[in-house]
């Protein structure tokens, strides 16, 4: 879980206090940790209540508040004291602690003004994001991010036609992978290592494909996105369907899965690798909580994750294709997806 040895005893005590673990001891020695973590949304509330009950200092409260803001968008550094009622010294301490902890970063713009942003907000260009906040206002940006967080992978068509959304995609403030001719919107997630970024990108692609089936499938629409992801986690494949070649083609291109013809239908199955299974679980987290819960990546799969298949495309590549409409017809698209799937599973030479 990334907890350092020097912090473990304190962390376990706090988790026991809020009822998330049961510690089994033999004398002074810890023998076993029984995990009792509740559903995440309730859990986050519990953590927040526990934090408030221990009486956080002004610096601690301001640090949490400012981190929450900068994860959503950059803020003007000069506004810290005025907006949050902090003294000059308190604001300086908050920023210095954040920089030492690597969750805050200062940046000077070309006009000489300074902004504060969080590198935890992946894929984000702080200058472009700051310009977007200046153009549309803090409240509209906050509202947009909040709506997407509440329903990660929401179709672009279900959001306002306001130009703020297009500008936010181009600025990298939100991400919009596409399935066929439909785009699905996500907020960037925390990720401090390259392999986590790869897994998050695959997770977004998985959820986008499932959302496509939920909202735009021509024959059978998905009633429960969670049930589909659970089945892929447990069974590694879905029952054959005539639309799977088109619906899950993006995942074939990213090396997440394959499609095979079964009679007059297509069967989609997951390529069972550690990073693909982690991507599935992360997609489920995005669906359930709006957040890709960080999971430790075993060293044995780092090389595989950092060197994905040649067809893999990052969020940056997806963003640059914003204005390119897919021109392939259904028959051609299915044929291409089938051929790619054959190559990935070694069914074709060359």
Task: pLDDT band for 232, please (50, 70, 90 cuts).
Answer: very high
- Residue 255 token pair: 């090396």
Residue 140's pLDDT is 83
Across 129-136, average pLDDT: 77
234 or 177: which leads in pLDDT? 234
| pLDDT one-digit tens code per residue, 155-179 | 988 886 668 888 888 777 788 888 8
Does the pLDDT at position 204 exceed 50?
A: yes
What pLDDT, in 10s, does the model give residues 52-80?
Answer: 888 888 888 888 888 888 877 778 877 77
pTM value is 0.57
**d(Cα 328, Cα 253) in Å, to the nearest integer?**
15
Residue 199 C-beta-side C-alpha neighbours within 13 Å: 33
- Which residue is it, tokens 């519990």? 46
**DSSP symbols for 202-271:** HHHHHHHHHHHHHHT-SS---S-HHHHHHHHHHHSB---BTTHHHHTHHHHHTTSEEEEEETTEEEEEE-
Give the distance from CA 77 to its chain's centroid: 27
- Would you state the pLDDT for residue 162? 67
Q: How far apart are CA 111 and CA 122, in angstroms?
A: 25
- What is the token pair recorded at 97? 């602690």
CA-nearest of 238, 225, 296 to 267 is 238
State residue 212's pLDDT score: 93
User: What ranges make up the beta strands (E) of the chain?
Assistant: 21-26, 29-35, 75-76, 105-108, 114-117, 154-155, 178-179, 182-185, 257-262, 265-270
Task: Tell me the mean pLDDT in the region 197-219.
Answer: 89
Spatial distance between the Cα atoms of 115 and 95, rounded to a whole number of angstroms: 11
29: helix, coil or strand? strand
Higher pLDDT, 42 or 185: 185
End-to-end CA distance of the chain: 42
pLDDT at 277: 93
Q: What is the pLDDT of residues 90-127, one digit of tens each?
A: 888 888 888 877 778 887 777 777 888 777 655 456 67
| Interatomic CA distance for residues 235 and 168, integer angstroms | 37
* CA separation for the pair 151, 188 (Å, rounded): 13
Question: What pLDDT is attached to residue 338?
Answer: 53
Q: How confident is the model at residue 313 (pLDDT cuts 50, 70, 90)?
A: very low
Q: Are 210 and 155 in contact (CB under 8 A)?
A: no
Yes or no: say if 117 and 132 are a contact pair by the CB < 8 Å rule: no
d(CA 239, CA 231): 10
Give the count of beta carbons closer than 10 Å to the beta carbon of residue 309: 15
Q: Which pLDDT score, from 0 to 100, does residue 172 have?
A: 73
Distance CA 84, CA 100 (A): 21
Closest CA to 201 of 306, 301, 129, 303: 306
| pLDDT top residue among 237 and 99 | 237
Q: How many CB atoms lie within 10 A of CB 55?
A: 8
How confident is the prediction for the chain on average, in pLDDT? 76
- Residue percentage of the chain with pLDDT more than 90: 16
- Give the C-alpha separation, 53 to 64, whole Å: 15
Dist. CA 273–CA 331, nearest whole Å: 30
pLDDT in tens, 329-349: 444 445 555 555 454 444 444
């Amino acid at each position: 879980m990334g907890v350092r040895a020097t912090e473990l005893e304190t962390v376990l005590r706090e988790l026991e206090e809020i009822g998330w673990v049961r510690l089994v001891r033999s004398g002074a020695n810890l023998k076993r940790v029984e995990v009792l973590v509740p559903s995440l949304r309730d859990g986050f509330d519990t953590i927040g209540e526990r934090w408030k009950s221990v009486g956080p200092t002004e610096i601690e409260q301001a640090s949490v508040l400012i981190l929450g803001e900068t994860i959503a968008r950059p803020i003007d550094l000069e506004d810290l004291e005025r907006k949050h009622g902090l003294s000059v010294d308190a604001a300086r301490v908050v920023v210095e602690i954040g920089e030492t902890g690597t969750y805050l970063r200062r940046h000077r713009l070309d006009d000489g003004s300074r902004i504060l942003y969080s590198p935890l907000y992946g894929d984000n260009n702080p200058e472009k994001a700051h310009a977007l906040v200046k153009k549309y206002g803090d409240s509209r940006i906050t509202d947009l991010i909040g709506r997407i967080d509440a329903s990660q992978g929401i179709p672009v068509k279900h959001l306002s036609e306001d130009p703020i959304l297009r500008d936010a995609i181009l600025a990298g403030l939100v991400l919009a992978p596409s399935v066929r001719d439909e785009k699905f919107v996500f907020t960037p997630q925390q990720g401090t290592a390259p392999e986590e970024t790869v897994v998050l990108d695959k997770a977004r692609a998985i959820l986008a494909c499932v959302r496509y089936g939920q909202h735009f499938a021509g024959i059978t629409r998905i009633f429960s996105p969670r049930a589909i992801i659970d089945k892929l986690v447990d069974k590694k494949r879905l029952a054959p369907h005539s639309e799977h070649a088109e619906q899950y083609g993006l995942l074939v291109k990213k090396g997440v899965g394959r499609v095979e013809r079964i009679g007059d239908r297509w069967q989609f199955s997951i390529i069972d690798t550690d990073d693909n299974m982690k991507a599935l679980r992360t997609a489920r987290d995005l669906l359930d909580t709006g957040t890709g819960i960080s999971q430790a990546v075993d060293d044995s799969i780092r090389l595989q994750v950092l060197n994905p298949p040649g067809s893999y495309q990052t969020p940056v590549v997806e963003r640059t294709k914003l204005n390119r409409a897919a021109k392939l017809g259904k028959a051609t698209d299915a044929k291409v997806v089938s051929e790619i799937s054959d190559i990935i599973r070694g069914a074709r030479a060359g």
